[in-house]
Amino acid sequence: MQINKNIAISESGFIFNPSNGDSFSTNQVGLEIIRLLKDDKGKSEIVSELVNKFQTDSATLEKDLGDFFLMLRNFQLLNE
Amino acid sequence: MIQLPYERPFIQKLNTGSMNKFGTKTEFAPVTHLESVAVSKIIEEYGSPCFVISERQIRKNYQNAVRAFKTRYPKIQYAWSYKTNYLSAVCNVFHQEGSWAEVVSIFEYNKAIQNGVDGSKIIFNGPDKSENDLALAVKNKSMIHIDHFDELYMLVALLEGTDQKAKVAIRVNMDTGIYPMWDRFGFNYENGQAWNAIIKILAHKELELVGLHCHIGTFMLSTSAYATAAYKLCDLAINIKSKYGLAIQYLDLGGGFASSNTLKGSYLQGADIIPSVDDYAEAITSTVLNSSFNKDELPTIILESGRVLIDDAAWLIGTVVATKRLSDGRRATIMDFGVNLLFNAFWYDYKISPAQEFTHHTEDMVIYGPLCMNIDCIRENINLPLLNKGDQVVVHKVGAYNMTQWMQFIQMRPKIVLIDMNGKTHILRENESLETMIELERMPDHLKNINSKV
Ligand SMILES: Cc1ncc(COP(=O)(O)O)c(C=O)c1O
């Protein structure tokens, strides 16, 4: 699982994929996950980072990450 | 380290320049209070889901509707259409304001009597009145609106040889330029059937023809249809006067004024396209005033408005049960209320608001109810904040027909609560329980024990 490394990310959650011109907006948690993916972090590392940083628990995060990865794949931002 | 508030991760593709088929994005402003009462507090006290009715809004709607007609025409009477919402407390708000009752079954009729309405202020409509029903209505001097010849002859037979008289009107159906035409109720104007029925009534001295009635449809977006309807009723009334010397006492224009809900498939928000009660009133009263009635014989105009008086006076509040992703990538949100409680979701795109604050991020989603059936869909497309399990929502303008057409299927029906003029809440109807559900069931002895097969 690898994020498309070419994508540009702005502080405000704007994402641009230069390979096809698609652009996206994401929220703060989404932005954090994409940054961690760019740093080659795996799912379990992402969960533990986010549990520390946000008011949530790992069960909620596991569920939400699964859904978020699905959308990233859908938008061709994530390669298997 | 201080932890940041969590919102589930969200990503949305930006489509520059394309039209947004989800309409104007006004829906996601949170509605945390209904009048002065917190949604969370109502749910805590009465459970979720829960219908909430505003007494203040009902009275305001009624007074506005009366004003719209009274400022244009001297003789106006409203009759509350029981089927729209026949919770007795709701009916009594209308009756306190001066409204008569309009009923279409003996159940509704008896409910009106029980609410204290004088029999002479009940309009009895509908195609299904039994001989006993008619006998009661005659005794109480109610206005019987005859729907078909079978009813007319039944009534004549009932009164024959007695010295009783019945106060009657006929329901007239007609072409008002609206499709589909509701021609299954009453007698047709264009083909002469209505006139025929009038002649038959006038030939029976036990029948006193007091009025003419029509109800041309519901959620009518055209005011000119009402002008046409009023014109045709006036035409009949004036003919009766000139041929038989009888002055008709009232013209009942029925209901049908649109509420400010948005019809499914409409690109415009309901509130932007519907006529106001003043617009309908202008069409009707100017037609009647321009007809050739004698000044001292102007008929009373009766209105049986339903949805326009109650839709925006009630909300359904509920809770998110779960969120999931559908196979095509769309998000689905499952609520603890469905078409079992919101029967009119089949016609309306109900406005739904979150009942707590969110960030500015929103997503398109489908809203489903809790029933295990495919048609249980409240909104096919709606743009809302990132809802999570346990979040509360407010569905707007649900006062008409839902609390009478709701179905007990899979789930039991919840409480209905009133917010009174002082912001105090009252239960108007308790939630159903297993006991309520089985109260009417009977168990044959041989089926009582599931371990003893005979
Ligand atoms: C005879 C009659 N009167 C009044 C009404 C109330 O109609 P609305 O809610 O459209 O005003 C109805 C509703 O179908 C009706 O059948």
pLDDT in tens, B73-93: 999 999 999 999 999 999 999
Percent of chain B with pLDDT over 90: 86
Q: Is the CB of A68 less than 8 angstroms away from the CB of B9?
A: yes
Closest by Cα among B444, B344, B436 to B396: B344
Instruction: State how far the Cα of B443 lies from the Cα of B404, in Å rounded to an integer.
Output: 28
Write down the pLDDT at residue B180: 80
Does the pLDDT of residue B335 top 80, yes or no? yes
Res. A21 pLDDT band, cuts 50 70 90: confident
- For residue B257, the 8-state DSSP code is B
Size of interface A-B (CB pairs under 8 A): 70
| Poorest-pLDDT segment among B1-5, B21-25, B231-235, B350-354 | B21-25
For ligand 1, say whether the CB of B99 is within 6 Å of any of its atoms: no
Three-state SS annotation for B410-440: CECCCCEEEECCCCCEEEEECCCCHHHHHCC
For ligand 1, say whether the CB of B255 is within 6 Å of any of its atoms: yes
Summary mean pLDDT of chain B: 94
Write down the pLDDT at residue A80: 66
Write down the pLDDT at residue B23: 47
How many residues are there in chain A?
80
For ligand 1, say whether the CB of B218 is within 6 Å of any of its atoms: yes
Write down the pLDDT at residue B25: 52
Q: Which domains does chain B have, with CATH numbers?
A: 33-52+314-430 (2.40.37.10), 55-311 (3.20.20.10)
Does the pLDDT of residue B18 top 90, yes or no? no
Instruction: Give me the mean pLDDT over the B361-384 stretch.
Output: 93
Task: Give the start-to-end residue ranges of the domains of chain A.
Answer: 27-80
For ligand 1, say whether the CB of B344 is within 6 Å of any of its atoms: no
Nearest to B12 among A25, A67, A77 (CB): A25
Instruction: State how far the Cα of B337 lies from the Cα of B317, in Å rounded to an integer.
Output: 9
Torsion sign across C-alpha atoms B195, B199, B201, B202: positive
Does the pLDDT of residue B21 top 90, yes or no? no
Does the pLDDT of residue A74 top 80, yes or no? yes
Res. B29 pLDDT band, cuts 50 70 90: confident
Q: Phi, psi (5° rounding) for residue B112? A: -65, -45
List, in order, residues 6 or more apart from B190 with CB less than 8 Å away. Answer: B174, B175
Does the pLDDT of residue B356 top 50, yes or no? yes
Q: Which residues of B touch A24 (CB under 8 A)?
A: 11-14
For ligand 1, say whether the CB of B84 is within 6 Å of any of its atoms: yes
DSSP of B326-343: -TTS-EEEEES--TTT-G
List, in order, residues 6 or more apart from B209 with CB less than 8 Å away. Answer: B168, B169, B170, B198, B201, B202, B240, B246, B248
Residue B361 forms contact with A (CB below 8 Å): yes
Nearest to B325 among A53, A54, A67 (CB): A67
Q: What is the CA radius of gyration of chain A?
A: 12
Q: Which residues of A touch B (CB under 8 A)?
A: 15, 22-30, 33, 52-56, 60, 64-65, 67-68, 70-72, 74-75, 77
Strand locations in B116-195 (E): 122-124, 143-146, 166-173, 187-188
Does the pLDDT of residue A18 top 80, yes or no? yes
Calculate how close chain B gets to A68, using CA atoms only, in Å: 6
Write down the pLDDT at residue B24: 47
Write down the pLDDT at residue B16: 59
CA angle B54–B57–B59, rounded 5-degree value: 110
Q: Which spans in B300-360 are helix H?
A: 307-310
Q: Phi, psi (5° rounding) for residue B440? A: -95, -5
Nearest to A27 among B9, B13, B325 (CB): B9
Give distance in angstroms: CA of B235 to centre of ligand 1. Answer: 23
Ligand 1 atom having least distance to the Cα of B304: 4
Q: Are B433 and B65 in contact (CB under 8 A)?
A: no
Calculate how close chain B gets to A40, using CA atoms only, in Å: 18
Res. B265 pLDDT band, cuts 50 70 90: confident
Tokens of B387: 């809802």
| Poorest-pLDDT segment among B71-80, B176-185, B361-370, B439-448 | B176-185
Tokens of B206: 């036990």
Which one is predicted more confidently, A76 or B234? B234
Instruction: Give me the mean pLDDT over the B31-47 stretch.
Output: 97
Calculate how close chain A gets to B377, using CA atoms only, in Å: 22
Res. B71 pLDDT band, cuts 50 70 90: very high
List, in order, residues 6 or more apart from B241 with CB less than 8 Å away. Answer: B247, B248, B293, B297
Q: What is the CA radius of gyration of chain B?
A: 25
pTM exceeds 0.80: yes
Instruction: State how far the Cα of B323 lies from the Cα of B365, in Å rounded to an integer.
Output: 10
Task: Give residue-wise pLDDT tens across range B400-441.
Answer: 999 999 999 999 999 999 999 999 999 999 999 999 999 999
Q: Are B125 and B104 in contact (CB under 8 A)?
A: yes
| Poorest-pLDDT segment among B118-132, B269-283, B411-425 | B269-283
Res. B170 pLDDT band, cuts 50 70 90: very high
Does the pLDDT of residue B13 top 80, yes or no? yes
Instruction: Give me the mean pLDDT over the B271-296 stretch.
Output: 94
Closest by Cα among A54, A51, A58, A50 to B4: A54
- Return the top range by mean pLDDT from A56-65, B28-37, B165-174: B165-174
Res. B454 pLDDT band, cuts 50 70 90: low
b/e per residue B11-28 (b: at least 16 CB within 10 A): bbeeeeeeeeeebeeebb
Chain B residue with minimal CA distance to A75? B13
Give distance in angstroms: CA of B391 to centre of ligand 1. Answer: 36
Q: Which residue puts its alpha carbon closest to atom 7 of ligand 1?
A: B255
Write down the pLDDT at residue B327: 87
Does the pLDDT of residue B20 top 60, yes or no? no
Task: Give residue-wise pLDDT tens across range B299-324.
Answer: 999 999 999 999 999 999 999 999 99
Instruction: State how far the Cα of B49 lies from the Cα of A51, in Å rounded to an integer.
Output: 32
Interface probe with B: pick from A4, A7, A10, A29, most Cβ of B within 10 Å:
A29
Q: Are B125 and B171 in contact (CB under 8 A)?
A: yes
Helix (H) or strand (E) holding A34: helix A28-38
Instruction: State how far the Cα of A34 lies from the Cα of A13, in Å rounded to an integer.
Output: 10
Calculate how close chain B gets to A38, using CA atoms only, in Å: 16
Instruction: State how far the Cα of B182 lies from the Cα of B188, in Å rounded to an integer.
Output: 10
For ligand 1, say whether the CB of B126 is within 6 Å of any of its atoms: no
Is the ipTM here above 0.90?
Answer: yes
Q: Which residues of B touch A22 (CB under 8 A)?
A: 13
Q: Is the CB of A27 less than 8 angstroms away from the CB of B10?
A: yes
Instruction: Give me the mean pLDDT over the B184-197 stretch.
Output: 96
**Which pairs from B263-272 meet CB under 8 Å and 24+ separation?**
B263/B219, B263/B347, B263/B348, B263/B349, B264/B346, B264/B347, B264/B348, B264/B349, B266/B349, B267/B23, B269/B23, B269/B24, B269/B26
Instruction: State how far the Cα of B438 lies from the Cα of B347, in Å rounded to an integer.
Output: 32
Q: Which residues of A touch B10 (CB under 8 A)?
A: 26-27, 29-30, 68
Tokens 């309306």 correspond to: B348
Q: Is the CB of B6 less than 8 angstroms away from the CB of A27?
A: no
Tokens 């009630």 correspond to: B314
Res. B26 pLDDT band, cuts 50 70 90: low
